[in-house]
């Protein structure tokens, strides 16, 4: 593909950026003692080396009362300067520019060392996500925070960073001042649109004085906060018109969503359920009311999509953060016409924002090297070439085979069915989750590039093992649906219509009108089957062996899918552990009380009770004395993240 816009330079103030691709500010959980460190520098350097034009570092806290954990950057003291300098030097080595964010959460506050913080906000308005009741900021305190923003920015540019981005997006403190639903003040910072804008205007002015005339200064905004009391598109257009009159401001970085409520939070890191490039029209509307550089981010995962947004005149630059978490070399591959080699982000959110919510450094289920650049580096070349047999072409086996071959081994990958992919082929059948199948396309391309011999429709037996004569076997045979039996005190009479979740997703069965799903996994499987069956006209009861729907899903996705279940009229019954069934009745224990939960008039019981590993070949391999490694679900049924990680790490060791 010819990119007429994406790889042209763009100038902001006096800073030339080599192309239109940037990485947005996102929390990496890599700060060390409140400062950027070597791991963060290596992470950003990988994207700079991969061809990004601009890196925007994650938000820093300008004032000590908003610092909640050591893995957030604390820019309230000069202690952060050496760390910022380390990142700036690493990024600049590759011709990439770097900005850094300054942000205060206001009434959106986290806990600190296990204790609740004292949140501060413009007015006494409760937060609907973290359930914080803020302390109203005095006029003097507001002015202290203005200077705190400015001094944090000074420290950042003193370290050699090229610019600063102030954060008014996602319902943060600046947005709270701008919003008449969260700002009821009667001093100079409230009461009128002009007064509500004053805090932002003073932060811009003070920051410009602190960083000098040459450094770039911008603002990140949410073009629609998607919350009942959030700022909508019309309000933000007016605000952006005011920003356009601020001569010291150089760019507006457009996203959507808000962290001040569960509904808006899904847009902070929009998953595959959200349309690609859906924020671009909002950015285009803002571009019509400002002469400043307009950036946009939100589900832009492929270079051809970014090119189209630029060609449409909707933005000057495109944020492709998760695209470069999945494949840091994405810009270079696109620029050199190697688009087929790009490992496209599938918007699963499992190991990027999912890890963030666990308090763990971000990575990628498809690319476990991402976020581990400092620890793992590139794959080491094998000292001795060995014959490696990988059995099972699910995500674990495919990753193991490609990495082993990349390291120089001779690799045969055998798959019993007609196509590779394993359970990823099932996952893509869940409503609104078809993009998950992209992991199979990406891994198959990795196999091709590495020169793996892929044998489909090949059931591995002792004779097949003898024919291949491997020195090493990697067993990745996966798992099959688990059905509790009498050994687990499950009383299931023969007159009950029981099917597996796999059968439902494949369309192999026709359930009756009234369906109960026994959801032990508390993840995609239960909610996916529930939505599919509800859309097929079934009355669905989703009985969860957990505290809430999607308990094991990433936080934003859990809320999103809970909303989908509500819209579809699916009855959700939590704390329900399957006990048995007879006739048209299905019995559960309440996990908390032990009391029975009885679902009556059930036509079909759908089992989503997890999986059991397939390990039949383990004994055969042990008997033959071949070096054998188990990975993925045949080791223990889990998710694609563990499967791919174990495949990679095992292949690095053989």
592-621 pLDDT tens trace: 999 999 999 999 999 999 999 999 999 999
CB neighbour burial string for 5-17, b if at least 16 within 10 angstroms, e if fewer? bbbeebebbebeb
Mean pLDDT of 199-205: 98
> Under CATH, which architecture does the 382-481+613-653 domain have?
3-Layer(aba) Sandwich (3.40)
Residue 66 has pLDDT above 80, yes or no: no
Residue 488 has pLDDT above 70, yes or no: no
What's the pTM value of the predicted model, to 2 decimals?
0.96
**Residue boundaries of the structural domains of the chain:** 10-375, 382-481+613-653, 486-609
Query: What is the residue-averaged pLDDT of the chain?
Result: 96
**pLDDT digits over 75-97, tens only?**
999 999 999 999 999 999 999 99
DSSP 102-152: E---TT---EETTEE---EESSS---SSS---PEEPPHHHHHHHHHHHHHH
**What pLDDT band is residue 352 in, cutting at 50, 70 and 90?**
very high
Mean pLDDT of 550-565: 92
**C-beta separation of 409 from 385 below 8 A:** yes
Which residues, in sequence order, are CB contacts of 29 under 8 Å at separation 6+?
71, 355, 356, 359, 360, 361, 362
Q: Which pLDDT does position 317 carry in this prediction?
A: 98
Q: Which numeric CATH code is attached to 486-609?
A: 3.50.50.60
**pLDDT digits over 97-120, tens only?**
999 999 999 988 776 677 788 899
Q: Which pLDDT does position 491 carry in this prediction?
A: 82
CATH 3.20.20.70 fits domain 10-375: yes
Three-class DSSP category at 415: coil
Token duo for residue 624 = 């033959």
Q: Which pLDDT does position 365 carry in this prediction?
A: 98
Percent of the chain with pLDDT over 90: 92
Residue 486 has pLDDT above 60, yes or no: no
Lowest mean per-residue pLDDT among 262-266, 320-324, 438-442, 615-619: 262-266
Taking the CA atoms of residue 236, residue 241, residue 245 and residue 248 in that order, the dihedral angle to the nearest 10 degrees is 40
Q: Which pLDDT does position 111 carry in this prediction?
A: 67
SS (H, E, C) 583-596: CCEEEEEECCCCCE
Tell me the C-alpha to C-alpha distance, in Å, between residue 239 and each of 165, 196, 298, 410: 17, 10, 20, 61
Query: What is the spatial distance between Cα 20 and Cα 310, in angstroms, rounded to a whole number?
Result: 9
Tell me the C-alpha to C-alpha distance, in Å, between residue 309 and each of 270, 333, 340: 18, 19, 21
Mean pLDDT of 5-13: 98
Closest to 607 measured CA to CA, from 516, 488, 500, 505: 500
**What pLDDT band is residue 132 in, cutting at 50, 70 and 90?**
confident
Query: What is the spatial distance between Cα 278 and Cα 21, in angstroms, rounded to a whole number?
Result: 17
**C-beta separation of 130 from 177 below 8 A:** no
**pLDDT digits over 245-303, tens only?**
999 999 999 999 999 888 899 999 999 999 999 999 999 999 999 999 999 999 999 99
Residue 175 has pLDDT above 90, yes or no: yes
Q: Which pLDDT does position 439 carry in this prediction?
A: 98
Mean pLDDT of 210-215: 98
């Amino acid at each position: 593909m010819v990119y007429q816009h994406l790889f042209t330079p763009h100038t902001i103030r006096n800073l030339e950026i080599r192309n239109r691709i940037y990485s947005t500010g996102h929390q990496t959980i890599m700060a060390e003692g409140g400062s950027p460190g070597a791991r963060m520098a290596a992470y950003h350097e990988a994207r700079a080396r991969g061809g990004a034009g601009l890196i925007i570092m994650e938000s820093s806290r300008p004032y000590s009362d908003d610092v909640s954990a050591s893995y957030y950057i604390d820019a309230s003291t000069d202690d952060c300067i050496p760390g910022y300098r380390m990142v700036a030097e690493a990024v600049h080595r590759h011709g990439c520019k770097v900005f850094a964010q300054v942000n205060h959460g206001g009434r959106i506050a986290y806990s600190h060392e296990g204790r609740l913080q004292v949140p501060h906000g413009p007015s006494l308005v409760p937060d609907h996500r973290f359930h914080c009741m803020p302390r109203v900021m005095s006029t003097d305190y507001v002015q202290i925070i203005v200077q705190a923003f400015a001094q944090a920015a000074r420290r950042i540019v003193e370290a050699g960073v090229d610019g600063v981005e102030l954060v008014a997006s996602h319902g943060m403190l600046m947005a709270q001042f701008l919003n008449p639903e969260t700002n009821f003040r009667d001093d100079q910072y409230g009461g009128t649109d002009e007064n509500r804008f004053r805090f932002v205007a003073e932060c811009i002015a003070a920051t410009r004085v602190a960083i000098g005339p040459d450094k770039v200064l911008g603002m990140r905004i949410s073009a629609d906060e998607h919350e009942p009391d959030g700022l909508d598109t019309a309000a933000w257009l007016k605000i952006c018109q005011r920003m356009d009159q601020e001569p010291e401001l150089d760019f507006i970085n457009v996203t959507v969503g808000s962290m001040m409520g569960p509904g808006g939070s899904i847009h902070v890191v929009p998953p595959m359920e959200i349309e690609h490039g859906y924020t671009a029209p909002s950015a285009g509307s803002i571009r019509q009311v400002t002469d400043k550089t307009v950036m946009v981010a939100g589900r832009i995962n492929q270079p051809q999509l970014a090119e189209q947004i630029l060609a449409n005149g909707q933005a000057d630059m495109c944020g492709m953060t998760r695209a470069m978490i999945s494949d840091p070399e994405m810009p270079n591959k696109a620029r050199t016409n190697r688009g087929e080699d790009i490992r496209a982000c599938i918007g699963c959110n499992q190991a990027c924002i999912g890890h963030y919510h666990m308090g763990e450094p971000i990575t990628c289920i498809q690319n476990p090297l991402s976020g581990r650049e400092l620890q793992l580096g590139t794959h080491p070349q094998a000292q001795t070439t060995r014959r490696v047999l990988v059995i099972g072409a699910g995500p674990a086996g495919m990753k193991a085979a490609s990495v082993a071959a990349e390291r120089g081994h001779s690799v045969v990958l055998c798959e019993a069915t007609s196509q590779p992919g394993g359970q990823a082929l099932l996952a893509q059948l869940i409503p609104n989750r078809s993009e998950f199948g992209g992991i199979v396309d990406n891994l198959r391309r990795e196999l091709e590039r590495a020169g793996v011999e892929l044998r489909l429709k090949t059931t591995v037996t002792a004779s097949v093992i003898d024919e291949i004569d491997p020195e090493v076997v990697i067993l990745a045979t996966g798992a099959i649906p688990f059905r509790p039996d009498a050994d687990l005190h499950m009383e299931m009479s023969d007159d009950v219509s029981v099917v597996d979740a796999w059968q439902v997703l494949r369309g192999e069965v026709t359930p009756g009108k009234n369906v109960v799903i026994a959801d032990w996994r508390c993840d995609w499987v239960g909610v996916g089957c529930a939505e599919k069956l509800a859309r097929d006209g079934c009355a669905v009861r989703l009985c969860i062996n957990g505290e809430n729907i999607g308990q094991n899903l990433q936080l934003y996705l859990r809320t999103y899918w809970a909303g989908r279940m509500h819209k579809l009229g699916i009855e959700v019954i939590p704390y329900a552990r399957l006990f048995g069934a007879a006739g048209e009745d299905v019995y559960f224990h309440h996990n908390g009380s032990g009391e029975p939960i009885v679902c009556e008039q059930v036509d079909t019981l759908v089992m989503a009770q997890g999986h059991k590993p397939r390990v039949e070949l383990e004994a055969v391999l042990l008997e033959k004395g071949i070096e054998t490694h188990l990975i993925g679900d045949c080791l223990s049924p889990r998710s694609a993240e563990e499967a791919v990680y174990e495949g990679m790490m095992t292949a690095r060791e053989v």
